[in-house]
Structure 1
Amino acid sequence: MVYLMDTQRVKRLLLVGQSIVYLIAFSSIYYQIPALYGESGIAPVAAKIEKCDASDPLNCISPLVFVLSHQLSIKPSSALQIIALLGVFFSICTIAIRATRNFLFYLLLVLLYLSIVRVGDTFLFFQWDSLLLEAGWLMVVVAATGNSPADLMSTYLVRFLAARLMFASGIVKLQSLCPTWWGLTALDIHFETQCLPTPLAWFAHQQPEWFRRLSVALTFFVEIYLPPMFLLPIPMLRAIAAIPNIVLMLGIMATGNYNFFNIHFALLCAACLEGGYTSSAIRGRGFGRRFLEFIVSVAVFGAAAVHWAMMFGIQFDPKTNTVLSKITFSKGEFEKLTKIGTSIFVHVAILAFVLVFIEFLVTVWKQSTATAQTPEPKSKKGKGKGDKKNETKAVQKSGGGIFGATGRHAFFVLFFGSFLFWTSFVPFTVIDDAASNRIPDILRDIHSRTKNFQFTNSYGLFRRMTGVEGRPEIVIEGSHAPNGPWKEIEFFAKPGNVNTAPAVVLPHQPRLDWQMWFAALGTYQHNPWFLSLVNRLLNNDANVIGQLKNWPFTNKKEPLTFVRAQLYTYRFAKPDTKVWWTRSLQHEYMPAMTKDSPAILEFLAQNSLITTKAYKTGPIDKAIDQLHTQARQLPQNTFVRSTTAFGVLLSLFI
């Protein structure tokens, strides 16, 4: 048996958990704003805000940043820091104060993060940022004022999001026709080529080949076969299906630095632990019903496992005591299965939504009936004054009736929740053209008109594996002379020195380090921000330098004058060596550049990576700068962990 919770406990877990994820996200980006988005940062937010029209702020890329900057007469980057700090503050409020876990506060949180994402550009263009926004809008529904059986619908929407994300992530891996996924060899390269591996990734990389192949096959089972079970009206089956997904997240978190994503998805899976609207309803299930649920759950899960074993050729080899695995279906067969599977997923989701609505109506009716039949306490003079009519009115006033607070709550959940539910099929069905073509035009139009709010998004994690021949890694070198000597500039978390163990920076995301991974897959000409980074290093920008692990140019007699970049291929070292990595030089990534080169400055201006306006530092700016200086007394991952630990402790003891 699995542990199931009533709806209100699930609701509290989702809201507090979402607030903790917000706290991680806001504190992480706050630390990095001056370096990434400052007026002399890598991608200045001021360069975007300068294009806004003061007479029409709503059409600005981020109206809140624009309005704060103008109304308070502060720099745009200071406005962005205020937004992040407000996000931290409201996150802590919703963790610590029950009364703040309402519609208004969660609406503020999602709008604050949206304001940052809108100007975040390259450094905030990740699927977990989109997920945080979409889940944020759902939490506005979950947190709708008051508690009522309508919460059954809002928690269903959370399960639906988790199911869509994971199902699509599994499907796109095979749709990409990536040979590593089809050959079940993705984990042969994943652990050493992912953006920011952890030390445990090195050990996972050393596991035998058959185990890595089986792990890939199991990943497909977890991502494709189990998510549709999140939607079924069988609480035990939902919980059983969610547990392997949570375990998968723990495994990914142990071997890779994926910031708050794994925590966030595991939180969404917690909605699958909902067993009923009340704890008495869960306990009230008779033995017969619980036993039937158990049998059905085992049957459905077992049937899925058997089908998976057939499709992925799972066999035990007694000669080697290993489990063999191999995809047994063709690409054409997979395309047909995708059409069938997506169609089933969509229809099950719609049917489950209708069933949850019916469950809501039945629960309201039962509550109203039970309350109406409860006799009013007698007064000292004898019989109480309330008759059946008065009791019904009391139920309605207290929120128990469909025309009272319950009705208002249900109307909001149904209205906004239905909007999120139906429009989510537009981005979800991109995995299947046939399903996508059946989407009504009105839903496409609504989704298109509201896409800037990121109410719903498409997902597809780890679509293709890169680095089959090794991990491409950019090493930036600097010198005071054109002919060297060249000194390596190490980043905070990404691989550099082969003797240094992979970093563990969870739950923080050092976004510059992440983008360096993507830049290594292309050229510097296609990554304008990279030239901006080089320009900031040549100008000795303190904020940008603060994001690095070391700065070898402290000698004023030999200042940094030239910067170049080399492309290496990194691989995990063998177990019998004393280093963590081995590397080999491939070619020059970027030739030597000098400070304030006219060509570079023109290129940066064309890409809105340099400000054209001089900004004065006012008293508010100075206060914000001083506050950030205090925050930088801690290393960036320590700062984020400290705020996160504070939030977690609040959730446990308040």
Structure 2
Amino acid sequence: MNYSTGFWFLARLTGLSYFFALLSLYPQIPGLIGPHGILPAETLLSRATQVLGPAAPWALPSLGWIFGTSVSALHLIALLGIVGSLLLLTGFLRPIGAILSWLGWLSFVNIGQDFLSFQWDTLLLEVGFLVIFLEKPGLRPRPPGPDTPPLLIRLALTFLIFRLMFSSGIVKILSGDPTWTDLSAMTYHFFTQPIPNPLAWFIQQLPHPLLHLSTLFTFAIELLLPFALLFPQPKVRLTASLGFLSLMLLIGLTGNYAFFNLLTIALCLPLIHNRYWPLLLQPNRIALPWTPIPWRHLASLAALLQLSLAIPILLSTLQLFPRSASVSWQNSLAPWHLTSGYGLFAVMTTRRPELTLERSSNGLDWQPILFSDKAGPPDRLPPQIAPFQPRLDWQMWFAALSAERGQLPGWFSPFLKKLQKGEPDVWDLLPSPPHSSENDYLRLRLDQYRFTTPSERSSTGNWWHITPGPVLLILSPETAR
């Protein structure tokens, strides 16, 4: 059985995922983790050194230890990763491109703190680690061929897509969230998701029975189709792949989830047998030796290591194996993110709280501080930004959920203080022009948002209906001094 074409595309699309991830992060670096950003990377590394001493670089692996954490140094790390992503995308200098991409992204995940804590950030590292060993070393691009990667690499990648899909389904059941068990989750999802896109408003207007069916469709794909991967028949695996692909396309068409959908689609392609690819994509049938024996053995060892880490995590997700039972060598490898647990939207939010920031020169007349992509003015069309990710806007969604529970995340206080001091790097994360606002008041309000109905939209032209909420805090000019 030969699935080599799918593995070839997995490598190329992983390179494209790295490219979008790093290119999107590049302009956000100064405001998020630069020396004058919200959560400076230099502060994190300094504290790690104070606590851990010489062991700090192993506990927090990052090229930041070598290049430094100035804006120019962090941009250089990103550029190295982007160069690596283009090499991986085009197939030049294998596996140097895959290694550069992985090291660059690992560096940011480990120093990015809250802003690089999303599941797809670690998923990219897990896929990227295996992709390093996916293709035989070479200087020039090569088209798909009949030769396939070592068996253990194939098993590790198949197990990864199984874990990703099945875990995403089972956590919904294990959470006990009534919106999943009564199939009403999708009646809330489209307007409560972090950053809806333009199509989400229209899908929200569908009749509730159809939205209930879409919840059932999600369960069927996430809980049943993964077990099709246990069967070797190409048609069975094709069915599973098409199911996963359809779910990813629907998620991508109705929301902004950065490079997650692209990367998951890439993971599905090795499930498609060569015979099902169009004729132009059929591999050259002249078999070539896959690679020198030492590299093949190294690839198998890497896959075996990854599997030994991934199996306990899946058992932990199924509540069959306590995470605390991990042995010391497994814990010591955790900072390298060779594997991770997955499971999006275990609990469905049924309301949409939004934090609204305002400023005033006199404490009486307030003007909103706009964000580029999160829900804001009621008449602003939800944006289409994926595969890029505005990471501050994303974290504002989580911050609003925390605020509704009575607390704000740790990064929020330095964010407000640097806004009030007029820190240009932080203001550059917002569409509002940077300026010194030390004499301004800042006010934080917790509003409730929902999509307008068709009749409301027709009469007002608005996409959002906003119910003003309580004022959480007011910062006076003295706070900034």
TM-score, scaled to structure 2? 0.88
2:447 corresponds in structure 1 to 568
1:582 corresponds in structure 2 to 465
Aligned match for 2:113, one of 121, 131, 137: 121
Matching residue's letter, 1:85: L
1:486 corresponds in structure 2 to 366
Secondary structure at the aligned position of 1:50 is classed as helix
Shift, 1:46, TM fit:
1.6
Aligned match for 2:79, one of 79, 85, 104: 85
Identity %: 31
Shift, 1:63, TM fit:
4.5
Q: Is the 8 A contact 1:33 1:81 kept in 2?
A: yes
1:554-607 C-alpha deviation (Å, 9 max, x unpaired): 6x8x97511010000001111012211111122112233435547xxxxxxxxx
1:297 corresponds in structure 2 to none
The whole-number CA distance in structure 2 between the counterparts of 1:167 and 1:528 is: 32
The whole-number CA distance in structure 1 between the counterparts of 2:463 and 2:408 is: 31
Shift, 1:527, TM fit:
1.3
Shift, 1:99, TM fit:
3.7
Q: How does 1:355-374 map to 2 (within 5 A)?
A: none
Secondary structure at the aligned position of 2:401 is classed as coil
- Of residues 50-59 and 149-158 in structure 1, the stretch that sits farther from structure 2 once superposed is 50-59
1:265 corresponds in structure 2 to 264
1:397-437 C-alpha deviation (Å, 9 max, x unpaired): x858xxxx553343223221112123210111113334x27
The whole-number CA distance in structure 2 between the counterparts of 1:34 and 1:206 is: 40
| 1:494–1:236 CA distance, 2 compared to 1 (3 A) | same
Q: Which runs of 5+ in 2 are unaligned?
A: 139-144
1:539 corresponds in structure 2 to 421
Q: Is the 8 A contact 1:150 1:406 kept in 2?
A: no
Matching residue's letter, 2:372: F
The whole-number CA distance in structure 1 between the counterparts of 2:192 and 2:480 is: 34
Q: How does 1:519-530 map to 2 (within 5 A)?
A: 519-523=399-403, 525-530=407-412
Q: How does 1:387-398 map to 2 (within 5 A)?
A: none
1:381 corresponds in structure 2 to none
Matching residue's letter, 1:423: L
The whole-number CA distance in structure 1 between the counterparts of 2:223 and 2:14 is: 25
The whole-number CA distance in structure 1 between the counterparts of 2:412 and 2:66 is: 30
The whole-number CA distance in structure 2 between the counterparts of 1:229 and 1:445 is: 34
Shift, 1:138, TM fit:
1.1
| 1:12–1:50 CA distance, 2 compared to 1 (3 A) | same
The whole-number CA distance in structure 1 between the counterparts of 2:235 and 2:324 is: 34
Shift, 1:545, TM fit:
1.8
The whole-number CA distance in structure 2 between the counterparts of 1:60 and 1:44 is: 18
Q: Is the 8 A contact 1:138 1:158 kept in 2?
A: yes
1:502-529 C-alpha deviation (Å, 9 max, x unpaired): 1111111100001100110113854121
1:320 corresponds in structure 2 to none
2:25 corresponds in structure 1 to 29
Q: Is the 8 A contact 1:561 1:595 kept in 2?
A: no
2:376 corresponds in structure 1 to 496
1:427 corresponds in structure 2 to 313
Q: Is the 8 A contact 2:62 2:108 kept in 1?
A: no
Q: How does 1:342-353 map to 2 (within 5 A)?
A: none
Matching residue's letter, 1:536: K
Shift, 1:530, TM fit:
1.2
1:356 corresponds in structure 2 to none
Aligned match for 2:331, one of 437, 445, 448: 448
2:16 corresponds in structure 1 to 20
Aligned match for 1:138, one of 130, 134, 143: 130
1:512 corresponds in structure 2 to 392
1:338 corresponds in structure 2 to none
| 1:34–1:454 CA distance, 2 compared to 1 (3 A) | same
The whole-number CA distance in structure 1 between the counterparts of 2:151 and 2:324 is: 27
Q: Is the 8 A contact 1:238 1:272 kept in 2?
A: yes
Q: How does 1:47-196 map to 2 (within 5 A)?
A: 47-51=43-47, 53=49, 56=54, 58-59=57-58, 61-69=60-68, 75-96=69-90, 98-102=91-95, 104-145=96-137, 149-196=148-195
The whole-number CA distance in structure 2 between the counterparts of 1:581 and 1:35 is: 28
The whole-number CA distance in structure 1 between the counterparts of 2:439 and 2:272 is: 57
The whole-number CA distance in structure 2 between the counterparts of 1:37 and 1:593 is: 26
Shift, 1:144, TM fit:
4.5
The whole-number CA distance in structure 1 between the counterparts of 2:136 and 2:371 is: 43
| 1:582–1:95 CA distance, 2 compared to 1 (3 A) | same
Matching residue's letter, 1:562: Y
1:351-409 C-alpha deviation (Å, 9 max, x unpaired): xxxxxxxxxxxxxxxx9xx99xxxxxxxxxxxxxxxxxxxxxxxxxx858xxxx55334
Q: Is the 8 A contact 2:105 2:125 kept in 1?
A: yes
Q: Is the 8 A contact 1:230 1:242 kept in 2?
A: no
1:11 corresponds in structure 2 to 7
The whole-number CA distance in structure 1 between the counterparts of 2:43 and 2:299 is: 39
Secondary structure at the aligned position of 1:457 is classed as coil
| 1:46–1:86 CA distance, 2 compared to 1 (3 A) | same
Shift, 1:140, TM fit:
1.6
Q: Which runs of 5+ in 1 are unaligned?
A: 70-74, 284-366, 372-397, 599-654
Shift, 1:60, TM fit:
6.5
1:476 corresponds in structure 2 to 357
Matching residue's letter, 2:104: L
| 1:595–1:190 CA distance, 2 compared to 1 (3 A) | farther
1:550 is aligned to 2:419 = no
Matching residue's letter, 1:488: P
Matching residue's letter, 2:395: Q
